[in-house]
Structure 1
Amino acid sequence: MLYAIIALVAATFLILGVRRDRRRMANAVWLGLTLVFSFLWVVSRDDLPVWLNDVIGYAVVAALLLAVSVLPVALIVNGVVMLRREGRRLPNLLSLLTGVAIIALVAVFVLALADDRTWVHAVVGALVIVAAYVAFLFVSLLLYSVLYGKTGRRTGFDAVIVLGSGLDGARVPPLLASRLDRAAAVFRRERAAGHAPLVVVSGGQGADEDVSEAVAMRRYLLDRDVPDDRIVLEDRATTTEENLVYSRRLLTSHGHTGRTVAVTNNYHVFRTAVLARRLRMRLEVIGAHTAWYFLPSAFLREFVALLVRHPIVHALVCGALVAGYLALLMVIT
């Protein structure tokens, strides 16, 4: 019954948080707690049929085996693909490094099982607890990000902000093209409904780019029947925050006061929404399709970016969990 009460409380906070503002990071945590304690409530019931208990048990074992064997190998393979297709940059190493870290943690845990020294159990146990906390946050944010990207307003926009993501010289690469294609689709849908929104293309010029992202993005949209007089160039931004801030200034200068939507890739939607909330911007964020091989590293990068926004909070939570574990270890030994 305790698990059911905790799950109900977490679900209540989730509903209240979503109604207050869908862009709150706390919503993801409440979603994760709701799912965890709902699961614990189900498996702790005494009135479940034997066959259902067996199914749940097999499912848990299969999930654990996948997490410690298949998942890290898949992440390492994805990391190699990223390095070959996207180049040797730190963001492209994230999936590979995560896979190696999981394998290393599993190996250390297995070795610790054969060691009877208390300090070894203390250290390895603390590592496992921290890893479990990080995994909980990652899965919670991933699930909530997917839910956020699938819900919300999809029509009735008076302005569209397209966030830049880098050029290949002067060419629009596939990642940015997917954002522009989604923005063009939004424009056509709104125009068919009776009004043509302003489209802000936002992105400055990098050291390895022949033109600003905004200029290349404008050319791309013109080729897809978006009229030149509905395109507004923002050619200074180099970060997502600058994309939003500078675009808001341009829209204000054009007298825009209506509904706004920002277009980015699907993995980047929730972090953009969180940032927009911090900037006190009332806008929706929608995502464009991303190549499958790019998603693992991209989601990991987004997760790290969200995680470092509240380092003290996460450090305190991890410290409390580890302290509780060490206290329990001292009692039982």
Structure 2
Amino acid sequence: MIKMLLRILLTAAASLFLLWFISPFFFGVRNIGSVFGAVICIAIIFRFGFAGIYEKLKVMLCSHSVTAVLLRIIQIGASAFVIYAVIVSGFMIYAMNVKPSRDETAVVLGAQVKPWGASTLLMQRIDAAERYLAQHPSSKAVVTGGQGADEPMSEGQCMYDNLTAKGIEPDRIYIEDQARNTEENIRFSFEIIRNHSLNNEVAVVTDSYHQLRARIIAHKTDASFKVSAVNTHNNMIGLSAYPTYFVREWIAVPVEILK
């Protein structure tokens, strides 16, 4: 009875998460996180929702030495992956909860600029930066992001325009408009901080799932910089894509470490 209840709960949870991973496709969000997350959910649904079929298939595979070894390898790999995912998720949760302790320099990471203005993702970062700067009137900010081929202006300039429109003093904001990725966001921002003698204790403004990778890049760029996190507040669209981006970081984090 308990095993059956557990199977039902796991199948129901996996089904809900499967819908959660698929939903970003309707908002134009397509990346490895969606695909990988959906595959994991389908595997869980098959294992626990169709336990009878799974057991028959297992018996059939175990009747042959080669397929039995392959099945065992898959089982060990799946167990190792679960352990890995839990460990990385733990570090991600830690990184997103390292709060600023004083008037750190805000480093606001860019995101896509649409033809009509800041994308939903970028506006969430702008709003988070505005809240932080309003609460820390002595803090400065570096807004960082270049201009992509399909963007009407640089991400840095877009963030500057929005923050000044929200009442943040222009002389508190430094624009970095050449970065093409997170690594360059951090590296070019640190150069601005050094060149203008700003506080090298920085608060990275980005989505919570992104904080660990940003922290790793910051440490690789200059370990003398102390890094804390200012997380965005997700709206409905942001929440719909959150698991997708979270799972994507499971892949992106080790890639960043191995660079």
Same fold (TM over 0.5): yes
User: Residue 155 of structure 1 contacts residue 190 of structure 1 at CA under 8 Å; is this kept in 2?
Assistant: no
Per-residue CA distance 1:267-289 (angstroms, 9 max, x = gap): 11112112222222322123212
User: Residue 234 of structure 1 contacts residue 246 of structure 1 at CA under 8 Å; is this kept in 2?
Assistant: yes
In the alignment, which residue of structure 2 is the partner of 1:264?
Answer: 206
In the alignment, which residue of structure 2 is the partner of 1:185?
Answer: 131
User: Residue 107 of structure 2 contacts residue 142 of structure 2 at CA under 8 Å; is this kept in 1?
Assistant: yes
1:286 is aligned to 2:233: no
User: Residue 205 of structure 1 contacts residue 211 of structure 1 at CA under 8 Å; is this kept in 2?
Assistant: yes
Counterpart of 1:287, as a letter, is: N
Deviation at 1:85, TM superposition (A): 0.9
The answer for unaligned runs of 5 or more in structure 1 is 1-56, 312-333
Per-residue CA distance 1:15-50 (angstroms, 9 max, x = gap): xxxxxxxxxxxxxxxxxxxxxxxxxxxxxxxxxxxx
Deviation at 1:61, TM superposition (A): 7.1
Deviation at 1:70, TM superposition (A): 2.8
User: Residue 184 of structure 1 contacts residue 224 of structure 1 at CA under 8 Å; is this kept in 2?
Assistant: yes
Partner Cα separation in structure 2 for residue 155 and residue 133 of structure 1: 37
User: Residue 100 of structure 2 contacts residue 229 of structure 2 at CA under 8 Å; is this kept in 1?
Assistant: no
Per-residue CA distance 1:87-143 (angstroms, 9 max, x = gap): 445554343343345456777953113442233221111101101111111122223
User: Residue 165 of structure 1 contacts residue 203 of structure 1 at CA under 8 Å; is this kept in 2?
Assistant: yes
User: Residue 29 of structure 2 contacts residue 241 of structure 2 at CA under 8 Å; is this kept in 1?
Assistant: no
Counterpart of 1:190, as a letter, is: H
Per-residue CA distance 1:133-171 (angstroms, 9 max, x = gap): 111111222233223323x34341241100012122251
Counterpart of 1:284, as a letter, is: S
In the alignment, which residue of structure 2 is the partner of 1:224?
Answer: 166
Equivalences for 1:178-217 in 2 at 5 Å? 178-191=124-137, 196-217=138-159
Per-residue CA distance 1:164-185 (angstroms, 9 max, x = gap): 1212225112211121211111
Distance 1:310 1:246, change over 3 A: closer
User: Residue 83 of structure 1 contacts residue 93 of structure 1 at CA under 8 Å; is this kept in 2?
Assistant: no
- Give the share of equivalent positions with the same residue, in percent: 22
Deviation at 1:264, TM superposition (A): 0.6
The answer for unaligned runs of 5 or more in structure 2 is none
Q: Report SS of the residue matched to 1:308.
A: helix
Per-residue CA distance 1:182-208 (angstroms, 9 max, x = gap): 1111111111xxxx2211110011111
How many residue pairs match? The answer is 248
Higher Rg: 1
1:142 is aligned to 2:86: no
Tell me the C-alpha RMSD between the 2 structures: 2.6
Counterpart of 2:124, as a letter, is: S
Higher relative contact order (CA 8 A, sep 6+): 2
Distance 1:232 1:310, change over 3 A: closer
In the alignment, which residue of structure 2 is the partner of 1:113?
Answer: 59
Structure-1-length-normalised TM-score: 0.67
User: Residue 261 of structure 1 contacts residue 283 of structure 1 at CA under 8 Å; is this kept in 2?
Assistant: yes
Partner Cα separation in structure 2 for residue 298 and residue 63 of structure 1: 28
Partner Cα separation in structure 1 for residue 92 and residue 161 of structure 2: 31
User: Residue 157 of structure 2 contacts residue 177 of structure 2 at CA under 8 Å; is this kept in 1?
Assistant: yes
Equivalences for 1:58-137 in 2 at 5 Å? 58=2, 66-67=9-10, 69-103=11-45, 110=55, 111-114=57-60, 115-137=62-84
Structure-2-length-normalised TM-score: 0.84
Partner Cα separation in structure 1 for residue 38 and residue 144 of structure 2: 31
Greater CA deviation, 267-276 or 209-218?
A: 267-276
Partner Cα separation in structure 1 for residue 183 and residue 36 of structure 2: 23
Partner Cα separation in structure 2 for residue 262 and residue 213 of structure 1: 16
Partner Cα separation in structure 2 for residue 264 and residue 230 of structure 1: 19
1:253 is aligned to 2:253: no
